[in-house]
Amino acid sequence: MKRRVVLGIAVAAALAVLPFRVPSNWQNLLISTFYYAYLGQAWNILGGYAGQLSLGHAAFFAIGAYTSAVLAIHLGISPWLGMVAGALLAALLSLGIGYLGFRFGLRGFYFILLTLAVAEICRLVALHLPILGGYTGLFINFTPDPWQFQFQGKIPYYFIALGFLGVASGIAWLIQRSKLGTYLVAIREDEDASEALGVDTFRYKMVAYAVSAALTAPGGTFYAYFQFYLQPNTVLNINHSVDIMIRPIVGGSGTILGPVLGSLLLELLGEFSRTYFAAGVAGLNVVIYGILLIVVVLFLPRGVYPTLTHLMRRPAAGRRP
Amino acid sequence: MSLLRVAGLSKSFGGLRAVQRVSFDLAEGEILGLIGPNGAGKTTLFHLISGFLQPDEGSVRYAGESLAGLRPHQICQRGMVRTFQIARPFLHLTVLENVVVGALRRVAHRREAVRIAEEVLGLTGLQEKAGSLGQRLTLPDRKRLELARALATRPRLLLLDELMAGLTPTETERLIDLIRAIHGRGVTILLIEHVMRAVMALSQRVLVLNYGQLIAQGRPEQVVRDPKVIEAYLGQDSAGAEADASG
Amino acid sequence: MLYVQAVINGLLVGGVYSLMALGLSLIFGVMRVINFAHGDMMVWGMYLSYWLFVRLGVDPYVSILVTGAVVFLLGAVVQQGLVNRILEAPHEMQILLMLGVALTLENLALVIWGPDPRRVNTAYALRTYWLGPIVLDLPRVATFVLALALALALYLFLKRTDLGRMIRAASDNRVGALLVGTDILKVFALAFGIGAACVGAAGSLMSPFLPFSPSTGIFFTVTSFNIVIIGGMGSLLGAFVGGLLVGVSESLGAVILVPSLKELFSFVLLILILLFRPQGLLGGSR
């Protein structure tokens, strides 16, 4: 136990100092890692713990991004507050989808299709709404004002992303140890058996969905004020939803470290392919994701992290007489 | 007053009448056996009673309250728990975790749930296996776990669906003892069984279902000699049924 | 009159949709696997057709033979190499696997051919016939006729040949088929291959009148799902009828609503179908 605390402090210290010591592209990589790990934690609550795969989380992300941007541009409201509004709207949408899906008994494949369809509808609607910028997209003016969620240089973004990740991981950890978490995992394992044991599966799935959606939206706000440009075909397309879910799936859905590990792996993989293959070849990244998904499903179905811990446990088991 | 009152229960699937106007009472503290040839509608009856299916006609009253329209988890909240014909442990959770899920029905915090779960594991003889994953359990242990999980919810009425299926005679005896012990703690039990040894040993009364209809009710010794019952089984595996019944 | 024209056009396109959906239904019916990469396989068929046309001057209606064969192989390889390993795995895993295949195919196409839409511009693309007040353009008619021919060929294959019977047996009762000594893995490979070939051929047939890019794949996949869910998962007749239905309703939708919202229409339709008829109009085993 003591060792863990020391390790924790060491890691925290390293993380605090790191951004000041590394070159710019490493800062980007770290920010990306934290940011995707954050999104992964959010997705994981529904996808990993509750076992309901969602291919439409880009919709919640977009709600977070667009809500805060529009509120800031048209009403001058700070994105920090807009973020909260975005989270609430995202939760509302998730409850709507969840109500339809869970009430009508959509599970597995059918639920995935539902989430996909909703996200695509959002994309098409966004392309036709002038207030969201339509096809040209939405530009956000850069005025380095912390109150407007805009900062000079990368370092503040680094710490915000890290902070987000910390909060999301904390929430995931709390859920995991609670009655909610236990019930979600039971639902994932066997929904009918859980019902028979008194678990209100409808209610708990809704809760998981709402928390997952509300937690995803601030990621969108972060993105909006990091990239300063929103376009529905980037922010709301299926590839983006895949981006969000592939990290926890590769890293280990249903665990706290899974999304972090998955995110780190994919960032390193992306960096590697960017350096050694033609830089900026659109789509190559996703080809790699596709192949990775296949490899994970075939050989590491529980994800990298659980497989690693399982392997590390084995030698100990061998020592027993 | 009867704990469970089933009246005129019917359910059809397309043209198939799975359950036809079944009525019976179950008194608190009783052990009632439900037997019948394969396909007689026993499990369907369980689904109807436990809320997994809604009946076409008829009613189910539990502790005086109608269960119409209630979802399974609500029925479980009221103290009626069922097991499944094919044991369904939570495969990727440990035995302890499996039982904790059941225990959480009556407490809000994991810590207490774990305590209850450990107690139940002791009662059902699964303490040694507490850390094993569900998927690693042998069949008899899975059955035991099924029982333990249900027990952890502190049921008033337990619906057991073919718990003895696939077990050796020794394992069957052990489970019979366990069920007796559970009954001894005040739990009312309704069990579906094919294994006649268990039916005879445990049931105070027996119901016989055939083609969805109740064809006989009474003490086990009586029912087993009832010509209608023998004929019902004759259509299936007569030699086996008779041999089991007389031994 | 505009509506009648739309219905006719919709029917003509519906023929290809039917073929597409037949492929998906066959794969699902036999293996209970949901081919998330279906639309992307079709797009590869389209790109192949385009390449053959542009490089070798092969008419897309002729290149059906090639695209059908190539995509057949693609399907069989995917089946043998990947799908076979996860036949007993939970559904979520199967979906993720096929999603991986879909992503790989789509983005490989993106890497190779770029994001710009392509189209096969045959010389006779603008030839039209008049049937009273209705305009029929040659590509659509030819496509319809060929699609129907292929669907019929598939039907005859499944009903009349030994191989076809084996496939049907395996889809009805896997254990039974095993018991009578069917080499089940070969049957699966064959079924997946044929299903893929259908959609590859459909790609060739579509290429003369529909511009396509790598991202069109998902649209075809969703449309296929729409059709198969409406018609009943695993029901071949349902897939056929559903294809025509969806073709017509899409065409009508484009006339009644803004054309650019055609995609929106498919997704809304999908949601409605999911909520209200997941078993399909013609029944089916799910």
Q: Using a CB-CB distance cutoff of 8 angstroms, which residues of chain A are in contact with residue C108?
A: 283, 287
Say yes or no to pLDDT of C166 above 90. Answer: no
| Mean per-residue pLDDT, A186-205 | 94
3-state percent breakdown (helix, strand, coil) of chain B, nearest 5: 40, 25, 30
d(CA A51, CA A57): 14
Q: Do A186 and B90 touch (CB under 8 A)?
A: yes
Cα Rg for chain B, rounded, in angstroms?
A: 18
Nearest chain B CA: its distance from A308 CA (Å): 16
Say yes or no to pLDDT of C283 above 60. Answer: no
Residues of chain B numbered 140-159 and touching chain A (CB < 8 Å): 149-150, 153
Q: Which of C80, C82, C222, C271 to mutate to test the interface with A (most CBs of A within 10 A)?
A: C271
| The pLDDT of residue A183 | 96
| The pLDDT of residue B235 | 65
Touch of B by C (3+ CB pairs closer than 8 Å):
no
Per DSSP (E only), the strands in A207-250 are 229-230
Option in C82, C107, C275 nearest A283 (CB)? C107
- Please give the biggest Cα pair distance in chain B: 55
Q: What is the 3-state secondary structure (H, E, C) of chain C?
A: CHHHHHHHHHHHHHHHHHHHHHHHHHHHHHHCCCCCCHHHHHHHHHHHHHHHHHHHCCCHHHHHHHHHHHHHHHHHHHHHHCHHHHCCCCHHHHHHHHHHHHHHHHHHHHHHHCCCCECCCCHHHHCEEEECCEEEEHHHHHHHHHHHHHHHHHHHHHHHCHHHHHHHHHHHCHHHHHHCCCCHHHHHHHHHHHHHHHHHHHHHHHCCCCCECCCHHHHHHHHHHHHHHHHCCCCHHHHHHHHHHHHHHHHHHHHHCCHHHHHHHHHHHHHHHHHHCCCCCCCCCC
Confidence class of residue A316 from pLDDT cuts 50, 70 and 90? very low
B49: nearest CA partner in chain A: A196
| The pLDDT of residue C285 | 37
| Mean per-residue pLDDT, A167-175 | 95
| Mean per-residue pLDDT, A43-64 | 94
A290: nearest CA partner in chain C: C100
d(CA B105, CA C31): 39
Say yes or no to pLDDT of B73 above 80. Answer: yes
| The pLDDT of residue A318 | 43
| The pLDDT of residue B113 | 94
Option in C92, C104, C267 nearest A287 (CB)? C104
Option in A53, A110, A282 nearest C115 (CB)? A282
| The pLDDT of residue A276 | 75
| The pLDDT of residue A178 | 93
| The pLDDT of residue C104 | 93
How do residues B97-138 score in pLDDT, each as one tens digit? 999 999 999 898 999 999 999 999 999 989 999 999 998 999
Q: Do A117 and C270 touch (CB under 8 A)?
A: yes
Residue B57 has phi, psi (to 5 degrees) of: -140, 165
Q: Which residue has the higher pLDDT, B160 or C176?
A: B160
C229: nearest CA partner in chain A: A110
Q: Using a CB-CB distance cutoff of 8 angstroms, which residues of chain B are in contact with residue A198?
A: 73, 76-77, 81, 102, 104-105, 153
Average pLDDT of the residues of chain B = 90
Structure tokens at A240: 């983006």
How do residues B163-205 score in pLDDT, each as one tens digit? 998 899 999 999 999 999 999 999 999 999 988 889 999 999 9
Q: Do A182 and B150 touch (CB under 8 A)?
A: no
| Mean per-residue pLDDT, B33-59 | 91
Q: Of the candidates C209, C206, C210, C172, which has an alpha carbon nearest to the alpha carbon of residue C191?
A: C172
- Please give the biggest Cα pair distance in chain C: 59
Q: Using a CB-CB distance cutoff of 8 angstroms, which residues of chain A are in contact with residue B50?
A: 196
Nearest chain A CA: its distance from C260 CA (Å): 9
C262: nearest CA partner in chain A: A124
One-letter amino acid for residue A143 of the chain:
T
Evaluate whether B162 touches B194 at the Cβ level (below 8 Å).
yes
Interface chains of chain C (3 or more CB pairs under 8 Å): A
The residue count of chain B comes to: 247
Say yes or no to pLDDT of B237 above 60. Answer: no
**Strands of B213-218's sheet, edge to edge?**
B80-82, B157-161, B188-192, B31-35, B205-210, B213-218
A183: nearest CA partner in chain B: B101
| The pLDDT of residue C143 | 87
Q: Which residue has the higher pLDDT, B60 or C128?
A: B60
Q: Of the candidates C176, C90, A208, A32, which has an alpha carbon nearest to the alpha carbon of residue C184?
A: C176
Confidence class of residue C88 from pLDDT cuts 50, 70 and 90? confident
Q: Do A110 and C274 touch (CB under 8 A)?
A: yes
Asked if the C-beta of C127 comes within 8 angstroms of chain A's C-beta atoms, the answer is no
How do residues A197-238 score in pLDDT, each as one tens digit? 999 999 999 999 999 999 999 999 999 999 889 999 889 988
Asked if the C-beta of A294 comes within 8 angstroms of chain C's C-beta atoms, the answer is yes
Average pLDDT of the residues of chain C = 84
Q: Using a CB-CB distance cutoff of 8 angstroms, which residues of chain C are in contact with residue A51?
A: 92
Touch of B by A (3+ CB pairs closer than 8 Å):
yes
Residues of chain A numbered 229-268 and touching chain C (CB < 8 Å): 237-239, 242, 249
How do residues A261-292 score in pLDDT, each as one tens digit? 999 999 888 888 777 776 556 678 888 888 98
Q: Which residue has the higher pLDDT, A73 or C126?
A: A73
User: Mean pLDDT lowest for which of B142-151, C197-206, C252-261?
Assistant: C252-261
End-to-end CA distance of chain A: 27
How do residues B3-24 score in pLDDT, each as one tens digit? 999 999 999 988 889 999 999 9
For the whole model, what pTM was predicted?
0.88
| Mean per-residue pLDDT, C161-180 | 77
- Looking at the DSSP bridge assignments, the partners of residue A4 are none
Average pLDDT of the residues of chain A = 89
| Mean per-residue pLDDT, C198-225 | 89
Confidence class of residue C215 from pLDDT cuts 50, 70 and 90? confident
Q: Of the candidates B204, B201, B241, which has an alpha carbon nearest to the alpha carbon of residue B224?
A: B241
Residue C87 has phi, psi (to 5 degrees) of: -60, -30
Asked if the C-beta of C71 comes within 8 angstroms of chain A's C-beta atoms, the answer is no
| Mean per-residue pLDDT, C215-236 | 85
| Mean per-residue pLDDT, C142-157 | 89
d(CA C203, CA C23): 12
Q: What is the residue-wise DSSP string for A256-281?
A: SHHHHHHHHHHHHHHHHHHHHS-TT-
Option in C93, C260, C267 nearest A121 (CB)? C267
| The pLDDT of residue C142 | 86
How do residues A8-42 score in pLDDT, each as one tens digit? 888 888 888 888 888 888 888 899 999 999 999 99
| The pLDDT of residue C182 | 66
Q: Of the candidates A259, A225, A205, which has an alpha carbon nearest to the alpha carbon of residue A69?
A: A225
Evaluate whether A40 touches A170 at the Cβ level (below 8 Å).
no
| Mean per-residue pLDDT, B13-37 | 92
For residue A100, CA distances in Å to A95, A110, A206, C276 come to 8, 12, 11, 10
| Mean per-residue pLDDT, A82-87 | 95
Nearest chain B CA: its distance from A198 CA (Å): 4
